[in-house]
Amino acid sequence: MISESLIVDEIIKETAKRNLDNITRTEAYFNFFKRNPDIIWSFLASMVSRNGGWNMCDLEGNMFPHLLSAPTRKQLFLTYERANWLIFHDVFPQLLLYHYSTKYNRPLFHLLKHFNVSSFMQKEWPVFWKGHDKQRLTTALIINEQNVIQKPIIEHPFYKQKVFYSAEFMLQDWLHFSCVLFPTCGGEVYGASVKGFRKVSNRIDLGKRLAKILFHRRLFPYFLEFANKTVHTGSRYDYEQYFRPGISRQTPFLRTVFPIIEHNRHEYTDWSKEKLLPYTKLFLPVKQQEPIHLTDWYIRKRDQLQSLVAIQKALKPNS
């Protein structure tokens, strides 16, 4: 076995290598799941990350440039990119430490402190190692990652003013940015949405519902087939191509419109030391209160967006 300091160094290098953009993150999550199928959260993360890329590319597609100004679209992209980066920066070292633990057949989770992982997750990984409760670990990671972005992104004064309380974000929220979609190669989409995106408990609830959908016994094989068969480009054409033959691409490939963004994590606070956690409630199962088959809903939303663009063009012929 190599030294623990070398393991830490390797994890830092590998995380930085895979944390370049939405494409590399999505691939890293999915590849990790294929090598470690017991960490089902990683497949969930890859599918949610696909949605993040689709949302980014919407900003430079055929429709949103008619509805949002260039500075607004840039700020929205940077916000999604920052949250995307921050979650990966936090969680991928955890996944890699699990990989090394299985490789050397002994838990190495005492090294989590070297990556500023929350004390909450420092307790949860040994619990998983002993009991192998996949659902509990998935829920724990959902709770952790949503809390990781709460203060630096959702509650940050700049993002609050410029993004999450802006009319533009409300518009996107109404359209479909708050909805996460899981497509199939049969041209169907399933998923769930969240109301009150800014509230961490609402996003955690969404994550739990998404996990329930993704790993549904009947549906999971179709989602896995889509992920295996479909290269992630950031364009919604990734799944719209399965709707019907000859459908045209409405949004660009991510790497043709967005640059690699340099990020830094300037400060770190352990979110789990700042709040009293209601452990009895955290791991309760969640109920699906709305339909999860969203194909018709998605097509209606897309039609609404096209109607909005048509109105905008009529009002501003040169837009």
d(CA 70, CA 59) in angstroms, rounded, equals: 9
Q: Residue 267 — φ and ψ, nearest 5°?
A: -145, 155
Helix, strand, or coil here: 267?
coil
- In this structure, what DSSP letter does residue 259 have? P
- Residue 313 is predicted with a pLDDT of 80
Return the sign of the alpha-carbon dihedral for residues 232, 233, 239, 242. negative
Which residues of the chain fall short of a pLDDT of 70? 165, 167-178, 279-280, 317-319
Report the predicted TM-score, pTM, of the whole model to 2 decimal places.
Answer: 0.94
Neighbours of 76 (CB within 10 A): 23
Q: Determine the pLDDT at residue 254.
A: 98
Q: What are 285's two structure tokens?
A: 């199962």
pLDDT of residue 210: 97
Q: Which residues pair with residue 293 across a beta bridge? A: 190
Contacts 24+ apart (CB under 8 A), 96-105: 96/10, 96/11, 96/14, 96/15, 97/7, 97/11, 97/125, 98/36, 98/39, 98/125, 99/32, 99/35, 99/36, 100/7, 100/11, 101/129, 102/36, 104/1
pLDDT of the residue at 12: 97
Q: Is 131 left (phi over 0), alpha (psi -120 to 50) or beta?
A: alpha
CB 258 within 8 A of CB 21: yes
Which pLDDT does position 158 carry in this prediction?
A: 78
Element (H, E) at 179: strand 179-183
